[in-house]
Amino acid sequence: MSDPDKKKKFRTEFRKNRSPRTRQKDWAKHVGEEGKIDDLPHGERLSGKGELTKKRTVTGAEATADGAMRIDIDAECLRGRVLSVYGLSCLVEAEDGSTLQCAVRRILKTLSTEDRHVVVAGDEVYYRPDNSGEGMIERVEPRRGVMSRTSRGRQHVIAANVDQMCIVSSAAEPYLKPHLIDRLIVSAEMAGIRPIVCITKVDLIDPHELQPLLGTFARCGYEVLPLSTRAGINIDALRKLLAGKRSVVVGQSGVGKSSLLNAIEPQLNLRVGVVSEETQKGKHTTTTAKLVKLATGGYVVDTPGIRSMELWDIIPEEVCGTFRDLRPFVNHCRFPDCTHQHEAGCAVKDGVADGRLDVRRYESYLQLFAGDDA
C-alpha cells in the first residue's frame, strides 16, 4: 500500500536562468604590445553541471493525463479567473466577484514550456491570498478553447477558455483583408472555437459590394454580421450572440473592436483611436488582452490589434481540413496524399475551375499550405 503522507514528486524541465559559461580560448590576444604574460589569469574553473541543471524534481506535484505538471494546493488557495496580465502582475477575479492583484509563483515562471506567457487572460487559476489584499497564483488549470499564434518561434497564447471568436474586420478605413479573416477562421477551427465574422463600418460603403464575400462565408456555415456602430446596424444581434458566452474579439488595429464593445455595453468606456488616411493603419489603443464581464452575462476578451497571423502548431497536411468548403472535395481526389496544388485528378482544383469553389478561398489555402504570413 502507498503511504498517504508521502508527498508526490514529478520530474520536469526548467528554463535555464543563464547560458553556461564557455572556456576562454583567446588569451593570447589580450597580452598587449608589451607582452606582460604575468598579468594574465593562469587558470579557469567552470561548473560541470551543464545541461543537467535543466532537470528538477518537484515535490508536491503529479503528472496530468497529457504529461503536464499539476501542483498540489491546500485549503487556503481560492479559485479565480485572470482578467488581465501586466508584466509580472495579474488582475484576478475571485468567485465572489471581487478583484485583486496577484503575482505568479516562481516555479510556474521557470518551467520549460513552449508558451511565451505562463498566465493569460481567461485562465482559471488557484491563488493564495495574503493579508495585504493581494495574492500569489499557485496553479493554472488546464486550458481549453485557446486562441494563439506563433511569435518568435514560441506559442503566444492571446486568450484561454473561450467559446467563440469574433473576427472583426472593417469594410473601409482600414481596408478589408479577406485572407486575414480566413487565417483567423483556421485558428478558431483548430482550437475548437466557434468563429463569428464581423464586418464593421458597413455604412461607409455600398453594402452590395460585400455580398460576394459575406455569401462565401455564409455558405461555409459561419455566422456573418455586417455591423455599424454609427448607424446601429446589427448591434443587438451581436449582443445576443455574446450573452452568456466567453468570447474573444480579434482583428487589425483600427477596425473598431473597442468601439464595437462600447456600443454593446457603453459603461465599458474603452479607449478608441483613429485610422491614418495615409497608411490605412490604426494605432494600438488596447495594449494587452483584457477579460471584460458583460451585463448580459458572459465575458469578452478585448485584444490588441494584429498586423499578421502566423498559425501555431499546424502542419501543411492539416490545412485543408480546416476549410469547410474544401473539405467535402478532398475524398474525391485521385491520390490520398493530394496537396491540391499540382496533382492530376484533384477534385479541389476541379471545383475551383468549374466555379463550385471560391478562387480567393483556394488562394488562402495555398498561402497557408506554403507557410506564408498574412
Q: What is the pLDDT of residues 157-176, one digit of tens each?
A: 999 999 999 999 999 988 89
Alpha helices in the chain (DSSP H): 106-110, 178-191, 211-219, 235-242, 257-264, 316-319, 327-330, 347-353, 359-370
Q: φ and ψ at 53, to 5 degrees?
A: -70, -10
> What gap in Å lies between CA 50 and CA 37, rounded to an integer?
31
Q: What is the pLDDT of residues 102-144, one digit of tens each?
A: 999 888 877 656 666 789 999 999 999 998 889 999 999 999 9
3-state helix, strand, coil split of the chain in percent (to 5) is: 25, 25, 45
pTM strictly above 0.85: no
> What gap in Å lies between CA 123 and CA 132, rounded to an integer?
23
Give the helix/strand (H/E) hosting 93. strand 89-94
Averaged pLDDT of the chain: 83
Question: What is the predicted pLDDT for the residue at 30?
Answer: 57
> What gap in Å lies between CA 341 and CA 193, rounded to an integer?
28
Question: What is the predicted pLDDT for the residue at 161?
Answer: 96
Q: What is the pLDDT averaged over residues 146-157?
A: 85
Q: Is 17 left (phi over 0), alpha (psi -120 to 50) or beta?
A: alpha
Per DSSP bridges, beta strands 245-251 and 223-226 are unpaired
Task: Please check the confidence at residue 203 and state whether its pLDDT lies above 60.
Answer: yes
Q: Retrieve residue 33's grid coordinates.
A: 604590445
Going from the N-terminus, what domains does the chain have, and what CATH number goes with each? Answer: 9-69 (no CATH), 73-142 (2.40.50.140), 159-302 (3.40.50.300), 316-370 (1.10.40.50)
